[in-house]
Structure 1
Amino acid sequence: MGSVASSVAGAAGASRPPRSAGSRDGVRVWDPLVRLFHWSLVLSFAVAWLSAEEIRALHYWAGYAAGGLIAFRLLWGLVGPRHARFARFVKRPAAVRRYLGEVLRGREARHLGHNPAGGAMIVALLASMAGLCLTGWLGTTDAFWGVDWVEGLHEVLANLLLGLVGLHLAGVLLASLRHRENLVRAMVTGRKRPPEPGDVP
């Protein structure tokens, strides 16, 4: 009797496909340089924001670091791996509006990489941070030192960027809950759940 049960169990096990490493550990989406860029930019912005009034030298160096990171990301968006490339996730405004409409109806597809709204947010964050770095640098030059419009634009961009960060976090939370996936952890490990039917790989 025991041998019969063992034979049946063995046959059932043989009929099931072996579980792949990808299904157990997830599939790699974010390469190490994208993850390093992401968390380094978060740190640079946080340091620059907190040191703006008290430690000017630290504020400047955090801004220079952010500027260098932005330059790297622009290059990596052209030559990096599949999911790092702008061509992969930057969509036309109509596609972004269509995706947001699907979000409101609760019918948006899960994207393995950035979804269209996430891609638009990345463009907005990069542009705002680049403008913030540029105006900050201009304020240190002889030609624009103490110029009111440069200082005013720098402050406006800083506040705009803070608002965009808040929207970005809200979007990450919504997508994490909607698709039952920890997107913050994915940006740490680089791995996400393998694509399922209906997902956008």
Structure 2
Amino acid sequence: MSQAAVTDSKRVWDPLVRVFHWSLVTCVLLNLFVVDDGEDLHQWLGYAAAALVGVRAVWGFVGPRHARFVDFFPTPKRLVQHVQALRRGQVEHHWGHNPLGGLMALALMGIVLALGVTGWMQSLDAFWGVEWVQDLHEGLGEWLMPIVGIHAAAAIVMGRIERTRLVKAMVTGVKERY
């Protein structure tokens, strides 16, 4: 299959956003596939993931344009307009996240942060053995991987619909239109 010619490109994702993304991917995958009888690795990976989200949250207010939440915050109006355009077969171009991508990014960061908080709460005397905290932590963990799968599939599908190389952009920082 031949590659379509690039018609336009722009540096979009700064190094911090890309390092955050792939470091978080690494933490989530290691926590999924690494067997840890003592739970120490699970805990430290969870704390690392939560810390990454904390750094990214700060960067969402002070980072460059496309890293800022204001650039992609999925307001109801933005979401409705985006979905309506998709239904009509009209492709809106967004150099940063489109509204659905912004919603997904915020949802994933929220789940990872909630996992970190509920995991930490279980280590406190006040919440040791408290069933609702354990259930919430486990439930969030069960939701994380399906949502990650939807995120990965959507990046591929939306890249084709929008005629951009989204996955490549998260590696190189340069978003290409073809």
Greater relative contact order: 1 or 2 (C-alpha under 8 angstroms, separation 6 or more)?
A: 2
- State which structure, 1 or 2, has the greater radius of gyration over its C-alpha atoms: 1
The TM-score with structure 1 as length reference comes to 0.79
* 1:53 positional shift: 5.7
Report sequence identity in percent. 45
> Structure 2 matches for 1:156-175, cutoff 5 A?
156-175=139-158
Matched residue count: 173
CA–CA distance in 1 between the matches of 2:120 and 2:147? 22
* 1:35 positional shift: 0.2
> Structure 2 matches for 1:39-118, cutoff 5 A?
39-51=22-34, 54-118=37-101
Q: CA RMSD in A?
A: 2.0
CA–CA distance in 1 between the matches of 2:85 and 2:146? 23
Question: Residue in 2 aligned with 1:131?
Answer: 114
Question: Residue in 1 aligned with 2:12?
Answer: 29
Secondary structure of the 1:143 match is: helix
* 1:162 positional shift: 1.6
CA–CA distance in 2 between the matches of 1:51 and 1:151? 20
Question: Residue in 1 aligned with 2:105?
Answer: 122
The letter of the residue matching 2:134 is E
Question: Residue in 1 aligned with 2:125?
Answer: 142
CA–CA distance in 2 between the matches of 1:55 and 1:46? 18
* 1:150 positional shift: 0.8
The letter of the residue matching 1:71 is G
CA–CA distance in 2 between the matches of 1:68 and 1:180? 34
Q: Which runs of 5+ in 2 are unaligned?
A: 1-5
Cα deviation, 1:117-153, whole Å, max 9, x if unaligned, reads 1111111111111111100111111221222111110
Question: Residue in 2 aligned with 1:38?
Answer: 21
Q: 1:144 to 1:97 in 2, by over 3 A?
A: same
* 1:25 positional shift: 8.7
- Determine if contact 2:11/2:173 at 8 Å carries over to the other structure: yes
1:154 equivalent to 2:142? Answer no
